[in-house]
Amino acid sequence: MNKIIPVSTEYLRPSRTIEILNLVRFEDSKLVYIYNFDGKYFRFFDSLAGMIGFFESGIEPLYSFDSEDELDNFLEKLKI
């Protein structure tokens, strides 16, 4: 199971954030990016380029979630 370490939170608006998380399992780690829209919808990006593509071109990520619990379960099990 991955350990989820918050790195930073950037506020685009009061109810819209980008969270940078470090996922750690044993000696491996990976930075991931989460776009949080109103605390209701979460989009997962495994690269900065993917997140930029979403904001600039509307390219949807492979993974999105309707609850924080779904997101947390996904992050805990994601292969690094």
Number of folded domains that form the chain: 1
pLDDT at site 33: 98
Beta strands in the chain (DSSP E): 3-13, 16-25, 28-37, 41-45, 63-65
Calculate the alpha carbon distances from 13 to 35, 65, 66, 72, 73 in Å.
Answer: 12, 20, 19, 23, 26
Q: Are 17 and 10 in contact (CB under 8 A)?
A: yes
Q: How confident is the model at residue 66 (pLDDT cuts 50, 70, 90)?
A: very high
Give the tens place of pLDDT for each residue, 3-55: 999 999 999 999 999 999 999 999 999 999 999 999 899 999 999 999 999 99
- Name the amino acid, one letter, at 3: K
Domain of 65 in residue numbering reads as: 3-77
Mean pLDDT of 59-63: 95
Neighbours of 29 (CB within 10 A): 13
